[in-house]
Amino acid sequence: MAELGKRLQDIRKKTGFTQEQVAGFLGVTQAYISQIEKGERQIQVDLFEKMAALYGVDAADVENEREVSPIRFAFRTQDIDQNDLAAIANISRIAVNERFMTRLLENDNGRD
Domain containing residue 25: CATH number: 1.10.260.40
- Count how many domains the chain has: 1
Whether the Cβ atoms of residue 71 and residue 55 lie closer than 8 Å to each other: yes
Domain span at 49: 2-109
Handedness of CA 107, 73, 55, 62 (dihedral sign): positive
pLDDT: which is higher, 42 or 95:
42
* Share of residues in the chain with pLDDT > 90 (%): 45
pLDDT: which is higher, 76 or 15:
15
- Please report which helix (H) or strand (E) contains residue 110, including its range: none
Q: Is the pLDDT of residue 52 over 70?
A: yes
